[in-house]
Structure 1
Amino acid sequence: MSRPELRLSARTLRDNIAAVTSRLDGCELMLVLKDDAYGHGLTWTVETAVQAGVTSFGSYDVRGGLDVRRLVGPEARVFAWATSTDAEIDEALLQGIDLGVGTVEYLHRIIARAEALGAVARVHLKIDTGLHRNGVLPEDWPGAIAQARAAEAAGHLSLEGIWSHIAEASDREDDDAQAVFLDAVRAAGGTGPTPAALHLTASAASWWRPELRGTVARIGAFCYGIRSADGPELEGVRPVARLVAPVARVEEGRAVIEVGAFDGLPSTLVGARVGTPAGARVLERIEPFFAQIEGWAGLSVGDEVTIFGPGEAGESSATTLAERIDTVGEEILTRLSPRIRRVPVD
């Protein structure tokens, strides 16, 4: 090994998916793939997830959704929730991508493109439950539903789902958000069939608040073994990724590795402990493209340093590393540059 590596365990990802699916108790898992599958690599993640039986995937935008579609074929559900250009809408319609729709204007554009192409748009309409994160306001909901049903009757739209985000700031706020969500579902059901895909919760709420789940749970972080910052460990879930780097040179008895701030290791992480052949050592300095680590007896070029990884003497995961600087594990993983190779290990 001559370059830093993010080592990925397919066995762990499959085990995590199984643990999450079991926890969902019949609610369908939608595996979220935003930010290149949380920095793990889209192709590897999707191929592993398909082996684990996943049939529903959440991609932030249409471009990513098209990449997923090429990997999974025509049968799996692929959901893209970012507002898109007309050209992207056309691609989504042609490739059967489900579109998350949070404004009446976006709904109108999708219907217009479906009419122009003679296609059927697969739509999940989003209600704003109070987070103000791109959703149809409750007072505009009846009009949006009426527009969707009219397009459905004309053969240009299929109302596949109703969805939203919640703040996960307090149980009371989340309960209030669920009440708004359920009102929206009832309103839609009063105008036609209730859509099959009802999804309100992401990782944490899906895990800890089962009463908030609908028929689908959008889960990203937990499937990758990224627990909530300052949150408890998750039964049956382990980190998928391990970040390692060889000692590139030895300077004044200290180890230098070629991972720095521009590679995704924030300089504020100075003081963290990393794993070495001699046990935990202090990360003493972080420059743009290298970091310096406290030395050890017998230190030599090529020795392997684990910046984070399960069971190591330093930080056991990206989350424990992130907690040192009051952030979340996915920020560490998604900051890692393409220069760090993603390497499957099992």
Structure 2
Amino acid sequence: MDTVTTPVLELSAAQLVRNVAAVRDHIAPSRLMLAMKDDAYGHGIAWVLDALASDSALNHFGSFDVDTGLRIRECRPDARVFAWTTSADDEIAAALDAGLELGIGTAEYLQRVISGARGRGRAADVHLKIDTGLRRNGVRPEDWGEFVAEAAKAQRAGLLNVIGVWSHLAEASDAEDDEAAAAFRRAVDAVRAAGLSPRDTHLTASAASWWRPELRGTVCRIGAFCYGIRSADGPEIPGIRPVATLRARVVEVREGEATVGIGALHGLPSVLAGAPVGTPAGVRRIRAVGDVATTMDSWDGAQVGDLVSVFGPGESGESDATALAERIDTVGEEILTRLSSTVQRVPV
């Protein structure tokens, strides 16, 4: 191994399988939609789908954008794939041809999807989005009735299949989430009153799906927890551990200081001075993160080639990705998704 240029992200398929099983058991009878945005949270779409290939019960994936959805479709031709961001017309056409399900959160996007369906000669499978307060896309409650009426008209014309209603929670407080859930239930009732019969209702992502069972719909969109990434400032999750471990090798040893071959250009945040990492001699602290290397406290017997764990499940004393994220006021998935392609993804 080139000790200077090859930091690695070790990926445990066995842990991913265990996490998915634990999540699915916990949220039952709701069904799991595995979120795969940002290249499966930095783990790699192809690797994740291959690792879960024997899980016949998992057949529903959330892709964020159409391009990601098409990558999932290539690996899983028979899966349900939900692309929830607003897309361009050429992406709509590609999604319809590939049989992707589209999330629709504006009246303008609804009309473009209807037009695309008419042009392709096939009905679009869609999930209608109500804004329950987060203001992250979604139709406002005062416009919901007209929006639903347009969708129902298009379904009667054979241009849409309204198969879901969905939204995002702010997760700012339990009280606000309770209000959002009430607004969501009213929106679902309005869809059914319009003569539509959505089989999927989904409001919650990882944290709310786990901790607020009363808010779950028929489907839970869960990404982070399946990959073993806990919520910022959140507790450890029973049965869930990180799938990925970031490791780098010592490239230089000086008195009291060791340098490892990973830096900010590999995606390691440059402001992590003081963060703990795991070494052969236990926990040591980062002193500084440079462009291509990181300096840290050394240990007796440190040698070039020694392996250091930057984050992971804690087997060498390292923090998990969320603990690093908490130091810089962000979320654990950002620590993973910012890792560059120069960090090798290595199945273990």
TM-score normalized by structure 2? 0.96
Aligned to 1:141: 144
Give 1:263 shift. 1.5
Contact 2:7 2:261 in 1 (8 A): yes
Give the alignment partner of residue 195 of structure 2, picking from 192, 197, 210: 192
Give the alignment partner of residue 38 of structure 2, picking from 35, 40, 57: 35
The residue type equivalent to 1:181 in the other structure is F
Contact 1:315 1:321 in 2 (8 A): no
Give the alignment partner of residue 231 of structure 1, picking from 231, 234, 238: 234
SS in 1 for 2:52: helix
Aligned to 1:96: 99
Aligned to 1:58: 62
The residue type equivalent to 1:262 in the other structure is L
Give 1:188 shift. 0.7
Aligned to 2:161: 158
Q: Does 2:182 match 1:173?
A: no
Deviations 1:186-220 (A, max 9, x none): 11101213200100000010000111011000001
Aligned to 1:307: 310
Give 1:269 shift. 0.7
The residue type equivalent to 1:57 in the other structure is F
Contact 1:185 1:194 in 2 (8 A): no
Distance 2:136 2:159 in 1: 27
Aligned to 1:72: 76
Aligned to 1:334: 337
Deviations 1:154-202 (A, max 9, x none): 1111001000001111111111111111111111101213200100000
Segments of structure 1 that go 5 or more residues without pairing to the other structure are: none
Distance 1:133 1:311 in 2: 35
Aligned to 1:216: 219
Distance 2:15 2:315 in 1: 16
Contact 1:307 1:314 in 2 (8 A): no
Give 1:301 shift. 1.3
Aligned to 2:323: 320
Distance 1:253 1:176 in 2: 55
Give the stretch that moved more between structures: 104-113 or 138-147: 138-147
Distance 1:296 1:147 in 2: 67
The residue type equivalent to 2:302 in the other structure is L
TM-score normalized by structure 1? 0.97
Distance 1:215 1:327 in 2: 30
Aligned to 1:183: 186
Give the stretch that moved more between structures: 269-278 or 304-313: 304-313
Distance 2:176 2:196 in 1: 29
Aligned to 1:111: 114
Give the stretch that moved more between structures: 327-336 or 310-319: 310-319
Give 1:332 shift. 0.6
Aligned to 1:256: 259
RMSD, aligned CA: 1.2
Contact 2:277 2:319 in 1 (8 A): no
Give 1:150 shift. 1.2
Contact 1:114 1:156 in 2 (8 A): yes
Segments of structure 2 that go 5 or more residues without pairing to the other structure are: none
Distance 1:70 1:213 in 2: 30
Contact 2:280 2:316 in 1 (8 A): no
Aligned to 1:206: 209
Contact 1:123 1:157 in 2 (8 A): yes
Which stretches of structure 1, 4 residues or longer, exceed 6 Å deviation after superposition? none
Give 1:325 shift. 2.2
SS in 1 for 2:240: coil
Give 1:298 shift. 1.7
Give 1:253 shift. 5.2
Aligned residues: 344
Q: Does 2:27 match 1:24?
A: yes
Distance 1:50 1:84 in 2: 29
Contact 1:61 1:81 in 2 (8 A): yes
Give 1:252 shift. 4.3
Distance 1:51 1:256 in 2: 41
Aligned to 2:276: 273
The residue type equivalent to 1:120 in the other structure is A
Contact 2:12 2:244 in 1 (8 A): yes
Distance 1:62 1:330 in 2: 21
Percent identity over the alignment is 58
